[in-house]
Amino acid sequence: MSSSAFRSVLLLAAVLVAACAPHAPIAVPDPDPTYDLLIRNGRVIDGTGSPWSYADIAIRGDRIVRLGRIPAAEARDTIDASGLVVTPGFIDMLGHSERRLLRDGRAISKITQGITSEITGEVSSVVPVVPLENDEEAENVLLTWTDLDGYFEVLEGRGTAINLGTMVTVGTVWSAVIGSVDRRATPEELAEMARHVDTAMRDGAMGLSVGLIYAPGSYASTEELASLARVAARHGGVFRAHIRDEGDGLLDAVREAIEVGERAGAPVHIHHLKATGPQNWGRVTDAVELMQAARERGVEVTADVYPYPAAGTGLQAVLPAWVHEGGREAIVDRLRNPETRARIRDDLVTGRGGDWWINRAVPGPEAILIASVSEDTLEHFEGMRLSEVAEARGVEPVDALLDLLAEDEARTSAVYFAMAEEDVRTGLRQPWVSIGTDGGARPADHTVEGSPHPRVYGTFPRVLRKYVREEGVLTLEDAVRKFTGLAAQQAGLDERGVLKAGMYADITVFDAETVADRATFEDPVQTAIGIEHVIVNGVPVLRDGTPTGELPGRGLRGRGR
C-alpha cells in the first residue's frame, strides 16, 4: 500500500471513530427559524436506551423539526426544561380507555403520569360493535359507529388528550358470532369471526388480543386462536394475550401463547407477566426462561408488566368457570337461585373456584379488597377487605362474597394481593418487557368512581421513583426506553416513541429527583407528582403540572391500514 493510500485509510478510520463516539445531538440547519414550540436546556433521553445529553427540541405543527443545540430562534412558545428530563411521551401498553375517553377526553390520570399514547383492547374491543353487558364505561355514550374508522371519528370529534390505538379481541368477535356460549366454533362461525378480524385489521386495528381467563374469550381453543391470529398476522398484526392461567398453570399458559404465535406467524405479546398465589411466587423466572428460549429460536415474544404485587379485576373472577356461561345476567340468576348458589358455594369451599379465589391466588379473605361497586347502597364497602365485609355482615367470607355479587349484579371490582415483589422486579429487568397500567383514564375526582387499583394513577411514576431512583433495578435511560422506544416497537408505532427530527411531537418532561406516585391501595385517587409538561402532537396537554384542557389526541392505526 502506498503512503498516500495508507494516510487515506487512517483518515477514513478517524472519521468513522469520531462518528461513532458519544456526543450531544447536532442541530441540523432548518431553513425556517420560526417554531411553534421550543423546549430548551433539558437533559434529553431519546427513547433508544442511549445516555442522556443536553439538547433543545424545536416543534412545528405536530412534528419535531430540529433537535440539538439550537441557537437563538423565534418561537411562538418556549418551555425552559433546565434541571428536567425530556423524553418521548410515555406509551401505556395496556389501557382500558376506549369508552372512558368518550365520556371524558381529558385523561387526567394518564397525562399526569406522562402518558401520551395508550394501546387498548384486551378482553373486549370497540369493533365489531357488540353492546357490553357489564358496561358502566359506556354509560351515556351512544354506540354510533359501525367500524373502526367510525369509532376514531367519534373519538376525535369528542376530543381526547391522548392518542389511542386498539386491538380487535377474540372475546368481542366470539360474542358477535356465537354469543357467550362455551363450545367449539363451527367452520362457518370461525370463518365469520375471521372476517371480523380481517375487517378490523384493514381499518387499522393493531392486532388480535384475547383475555383467556374471561368469558367468552376463554372458550376459544388453541387451534381457534391460531386460526384468528393468522388473519391478523397477514396484516402485520401482533397476537396479544392475557394468558389462560397465571397461577398453577402459568408455564403451560405461556407455552400456549407462544404456540399460537408460532402457528400463526405472528409476534406474541403477553400482558402483565406475573405469577399468582404464594405457591407460585418465583415462577416468573421460569416463565422468562420459556420466553427467552422461544426468542432464541426466532419467535418474537414480549410482555408488559405493571409495577405492583397486587392485581385488579372483577370480583366475579373468583367464581367457577361454569358460572360465567351466558354472561352477566346468567351469573346473577345463578347467584340468586338457591340451588345453583349452593353449588357455587360448594365449589368455592372445596377449592374448585375461579382463578382468583382463596387458596388459589390469595392466602385469605383479607387479601381481597373491594375496589368499586355499582349499587349506591353498597358504596360503604368500597376500600374494605372481604374479611371486613364478612365481619360487618356477620357471615362467612364466602357468603359475603356471593351476597355482594348478587346484590351488585356481578359488577363489583376488586384488588387481589396475589403476587410477590421479587417477581415484579424480575419482569421489569427483562429487556423485552414494557409497561402497562391495565387501567382506563379517570378524572382526579374522589367522588366520581369507587376505589380503583393505584396503578390507574401511579404506574409510570412508580417505576421512576421506586425501581429507578430508590432501588436501582433499572437505569433511568432503560426505564424510559421501556416507556417509549420499546413500547412503540411492540405496538408498531413507527413515528412515535423516539425523539428525532420528523417524529410526531409526543414529549414528556419531568423532574427525575421528585417524580413519584402518590396513589395507594388505601387512597388510590391521587395523581402523581413530578411530571411537569406533557406534549401530544405538538400541543401541551399538561403545563407546569396542570392540565391545559387541550384535546389534540388522535386515533392510532396499525401497519395493516
Q: pLDDT tens digits, residue range 230-254?
A: 999 999 999 999 999 999 999 999 9
**pLDDT value at residue 72:** 78
- Whether 125 and 138 have beta carbons less than 8 Å apart is answered as no
Residue 330 DSSP class: H
Nearest to 97 by CA among 117, 114, 67: 117
Quote the mean pLDDT of the chain.
92
Summarize the confidence of residues 106-130 as an average pLDDT. 97
Q: What is the pLDDT of residue 445?
A: 79
Contact status, residue 362 vs residue 368, Cβ threshold 8 Å: yes
Q: What is the 3-state secondary structure (H, E, C) of 126-161?
A: CCCCCCCCCCHHHCCCCCCCCCHHHHHHHHHHHCEC
CA dist 560 and 131 (Å) reads: 26
Secondary structure class of 180 (helix, strand, coil):
coil
Q: Kindly give, in sequence order, each residue whose CB lies less than 8 Å from that of residue 100, ignoring residues fewer than 6 positions away.
A: 137, 440, 441, 442
- Average pLDDT of span 55-84: 95
The grid coordinates listed for 83 are 434541571
How does residue 289 score in pLDDT terms, banded at 50, 70 and 90?
A: very high
SS3 category, 398: helix
Q: How confident is the model at residue 25 (pLDDT cuts 50, 70, 90)?
A: low
- In this prediction, residue 71 carries a pLDDT of 86
- CB distance 417 to 369 below 8 Å: yes
* Residues above pLDDT 90, as percent of the chain: 84
- As a whole number of angstroms, the distance between CA 236 and CA 548 comes to 36
8 Å CB contact between 529 and 516: yes
Please say whether the beta carbons of 433 and 304 come within 8 A: yes
